[in-house]
Structure 1
Amino acid sequence: MIIFYDGHCPLCRAEMRHLRNHDDDNIIQYEDIQQEDFSERYPDLNWDDLNNRIHVKLPDGTFLEGLDATHAAWKKVGKGWLYAPLRWPVVRHVADKAYLAFAKHRYKISYWLTGQKRGPECGGKHE
């Protein structure tokens, strides 16, 4: 499984750190879409789509996005229960809308919650 995340987003970086802390067997490959060579290494992927929301590529080549991707990643490390309620049919629709709003405004929300601005110091060419 490969997870594609925005390394310029403070909250996204924090979640990847937490996910890695639970990924004892290194079963997830973490790909920061902001890395200089990202487009060279993944020329067939649409960077703008990946930047709009988090994505996971499963071993069979299937892509998941948004909260489905996040849930799949946490489930892979044995903590799927953290996001499972957001996938329940009654909650799913509202949670997905809320996630899209978060993804669109993630830099501002990250700043409000962490005091950290968007992180070009992490490297990357995409601003």
Structure 2
Amino acid sequence: MSTPAPPSLEVFYDGGCPACRREMAHYRMQPGAEAIRFTDAAHDVERLAEVGLDAMAAIATLHARNVDGTWHIGVPAFREIWLRLPRYARWARRFAWLIESRALAWAYAVFCRLRLPRRCRDGRCPT
């Protein structure tokens, strides 16, 4: 039996966000998920420090980092996840034009700006 390859991507997501947790849990259950290390940015501050990622930035929007150190932020981070999951990879390639569009990047940025204040009320976010 061969040893599985180490993850080729590390994803930093907001573990304090119920929707974010559900989505990452879904991805974790997919075939191919062993290629991804999922890091809860809301709780693993030591790992954030190791990679030089600001805690607020990490919970504000999805971040992914390839093993070569290349960062993907926002929608490109989702693309990197999808490309490693066989059930999603063909769709990620087929709809690359949409994934790489300014319109989708703008929509995700708006979502993040609306989500963060609700997430951070009552002092529940890093300072």
Q: Of the two structures, which has the highest relative contact order with CA contacts closer than 8 Å and spacing of 6 or more?
A: 1
TM-score range, shorter chain: 0.7 to 0.9
Q: Which runs of 5 or more structure 1 residues have no equivalent in the other structure?
A: 109-116, 119-123
Deviations 1:47-105 (A, max 9, x none): 22212210000011000011110111011112134455664169711111000011122
Q: State the distance in 1 between where 2:89 and 2:80 align.
A: 7
Q: Is the 8 A contact 2:15 2:42 kept in 1?
A: yes
Q: State the distance in 2 between where 1:26 and 1:74 align.
A: 13
Give the ranges of 4+ consecutive aligned residues of structure 1 lying more than 6 Å apart after TM superposition: none
Structural mapping, 1:78-117, within 5 Å? 78=86, 79-84=88-93, 87-88=96-97, 92-106=101-115
Q: Matched residue of 1:2: which SS?
A: strand
- Indicate whether 1:42 and 2:48 are aligned: yes
Q: Which runs of 5 or more structure 2 residues have no equivalent in the other structure?
A: 1-8
Q: State the distance in 1 between where 2:12 and 2:82 align.
A: 14
2:59 to 51, 54, 61: 51
Amino acid paired to 2:85: V
Q: State the distance in 2 between where 1:85 and 1:52 align.
A: 28
The change in CA–CA distance for 1:24 and 1:99 in structure 2 (over 3 A counts) is same
Q: State the distance in 2 between where 1:72 and 1:97 align.
A: 18
Q: State the distance in 2 between where 1:56 and 1:28 align.
A: 9
Amino acid paired to 1:26: E
Shift of 1:125: 6.8
Q: State the distance in 1 between where 2:99 and 2:47 align.
A: 39
Q: Matched residue of 1:34: which SS?
A: coil
Normalising by structure 2, we get a TM-score of 0.73
Q: CA RMSD in A?
A: 2.8
| Farther-moved stretch of structure 1 (21-30 vs 81-90) | 81-90
